[in-house]
Amino acid sequence: MTSVEVRLFAANGGRVAVGPDEPVAERLDADMRHVLSVLGQMGGKPIESLRTPEARAQPRLDMALRRILRDSHDDHGINMEMRLIHGPGDDIRARIYTPQVDAGGARPLILYFHPGAFVLGDVDHYDATPRGLAQRTGAVVVSSHYRQAPEHRFPAAHEDAFAAWSWLLEHAGSLGGDPRRIAVVGEGSGGNLAVNVALQARAEGGPRPIHLGLVTPMATLSFDLPSHLELEETGPFRTETFKWAARKLLRNKDDAHDPRLELSERGDLGGLPPATVILAEADPLRSEGEALADQLRRSGVWVDSTTYEGVTHGFFGLYQVVNKAMFAHGQLARNLAAAFEERAAAP
């Protein structure tokens, strides 16, 4: 079979051509291709053609991962319990991940926000990343859900994210954690929430995160950036998928220009904590992630940014089967561990 004949199945049921006229897709790593192929075999329809409940029921990368692993369950030495966080609208579902090994003292803490373009996903589907971070860093990880569109439009998710941050500060001790050592990590829409938590914490003059982990973050609602134009048909999330989600998220056209959603255009990012920015080459969000990393640097923020070639949006949680995801997890975990160690040593 020639490269022109190879086809990759996107999560939305569409086919992604791989050939000389699509050079980025052609360079997808074999392990990433395998996950997408398994996902395609699970069926699915274009998300942007569906109503919200149907879209939420579509096959996902985590389901493909479980099929590849043959549904084997490995807790990685991490205990998990469910909690409810009191939010501004309703209770917020959260998962608490705690390493089973005795730490001999208070552990660092990570607040994690899952992806899903503010519409899809929840803490149950996005288990791999918080579990992996707890294992690699020894931290207690709080994976917090948030109200989603279209039932709850912007800025409901942002309000819930800061409520989760405030709850974690208040309950750090009861979780066995150190409130002086809290980092915030987010993927996709969760990356947007992570930055906004840090901005609001700075504005209110209270405790701030000591590190930000921003994985393929949503940093603007502009869809004319280079990666959107180059990769509009590349799965598992296409440009049309993000446009579909934006229509559900926004209350009106003005919301698209709200600084909380236009992070890559902000000039007031100074004073934010050091950040690890992890991007995927074959991701429509790549350009906005690059712009956010540049804007953070121009604002004087320390940034460690890597664009991983050969992988798509959503790759990060596939570290058990995709090598680049394993490397990316290692990068973020090292920076988090260094931040925790540095703060622990500070007077």
Bridge partners for 280 per DSSP: 308
**pTM of the complete model beyond 0.85:** yes
Confidence band, pLDDT 50/70/90 cuts, at residue 25: low
Cβ atoms of 286 and 307 closer than 8 Å: yes
pLDDT tens sequence across 118-160: 999 999 999 999 999 999 999 999 999 999 999 999 999 999 9
Q: Above 60 in pLDDT, residue 1? A: no
* pLDDT score recorded for residue 74: 75
* pLDDT score recorded for residue 140: 98
DSSP string across 245-296: HHHHH-SSGGGGG-TTT-GGG-S--TTPPPEEEEEEEE-TTHHHHHHHHHHH
Q: What angle do CA 77, 78, 83 make, to 5 degrees?
A: 165
Token pair recorded at residue 339: 């931040």
For residue 304, the SS3 value is strand
CA atoms of 34 and 25, how far apart (whole Å): 13
Average confidence (pLDDT) over 187-211: 98
Confidence band, pLDDT 50/70/90 cuts, at residue 333: very high
Q: Above 50 in pLDDT, residue 54? A: yes
Cβ atoms of 170 and 114 closer than 8 Å: no
Closest CA to 314 of 279, 338, 343, 288: 279
Closest CA to 194 of 172, 215, 178, 177: 215
CA atoms of 277 and 130, how far apart (whole Å): 17
CA atoms of 316 and 311, how far apart (whole Å): 9
Least confident of 18-22, 41-45, 113-117, 161-165: 18-22
Closest CA to 187 of 224, 109, 133: 133
Summary mean pLDDT of the chain: 91
- Distances in whole angstroms, Cα of residue 250 to Cα of each of 253, 261, 341: 7, 10, 40
Average confidence (pLDDT) over 216-240: 90
CA atoms of 324 and 72, how far apart (whole Å): 22
* pLDDT score recorded for residue 44: 85
* pLDDT score recorded for residue 319: 96
DSSP string across 188-229: THHHHHHHHHHHHHHHHTS---S-EEEES--------SHHHH
pLDDT tens sequence across 26-44: 789 999 999 999 999 999 8
Q: Above 60 in pLDDT, residue 2? A: no
* pLDDT score recorded for residue 73: 73
Confidence band, pLDDT 50/70/90 cuts, at residue 103: confident
* pLDDT score recorded for residue 13: 37
Per-residue DSSP letter, 51: -
Tell me: cis bond preceding 150? Omega within 30 of 0 counts.
Answer: yes
Closest CA to 131 of 327, 341, 319: 319
Token pair recorded at residue 26: 């052609």
Confidence band, pLDDT 50/70/90 cuts, at residue 112: very high
pLDDT tens sequence across 161-193: 999 999 999 999 999 999 999 999 999 999 999
Closest CA to 151 of 241, 257, 84, 251: 251
* pLDDT score recorded for residue 3: 28
pLDDT tens sequence across 277-316: 999 999 999 999 999 999 999 999 999 999 999 999 999 9
- CA 21 from chain centre, in angstroms, equals 29
Domain ranges across the chain: 74-345
Neighbours of 73 (CB within 10 A): 6
Closest CA to 142 of 97, 193, 93: 97
CATH number of 74-345: 3.40.50.1820
CA atoms of 305 and 286, how far apart (whole Å): 12
Token pair recorded at residue 249: 């998220």
- CA 15 from chain centre, in angstroms, equals 24
H-type alpha helices, 138-183:
156-171
Share of the chain above pLDDT 70, in %: 93
Cβ atoms of 277 and 194 closer than 8 Å: no
